[in-house]
Amino acid sequence: MKRVITYGTFDLLHYGHINLLRRAKALGDYLIVVLSSDEFNWNEKHKKTYFTYEQRKQLLEAIRYVDLVIPETNWQQKRSDMHEYHIDTFVMGDDWKGKFDFLKDEGVEVVYLPRTPEISSSQIKKDLYDANDVGESKMSHEDIDTDPN
């Protein structure tokens, strides 16, 4: 069995994430997603997520390409994860190109997959902020008349 691993925050899950996971799974038989914990995101990446670790984990576990979701708690765990989970292929988006080549020393293939160019969590956040800033989406369900009569 060929085992593939990828890492990420996976906040505001979108079709670019699904594309990445589908292509990662196609490289092997078993896909492990190492999901950044809330503490790791805040303390090391200086990122605040919208969804908690448990919520993001639940979303990932519902995706058919994902076989196992485990927590990422520090940058250093990648080396030990390669051995503990008997990994054959490490996969990341190509915006990280070269940053994880040191894992080749652990006996794994390192693959950087192209990102889906027109979508990112950062872009979604910006677009929503901009839309709200100009008043494009201030209507609530209470404001909508659903009865055409």
Catalytic residues: 45, 47
Q: For residue 44, what are the contacts with CB-CB under 8 A and spacing of at least 6? A: 74, 75
Number of residues in the chain: 149
Residues paired with residue 15 on neighbouring β-strands, in sequence order: none
* CA-based max dimension of the chain: 69
The upper half-sphere exposure of residue 14, i.e. CA atoms within 13 Å in the direction of its Cβ, equals: 14
Alpha helices in the chain (DSSP H): 15-25, 38-43, 53-61, 77-84, 121-133
User: For tokens 């990446």, what's the residue?
Assistant: 45
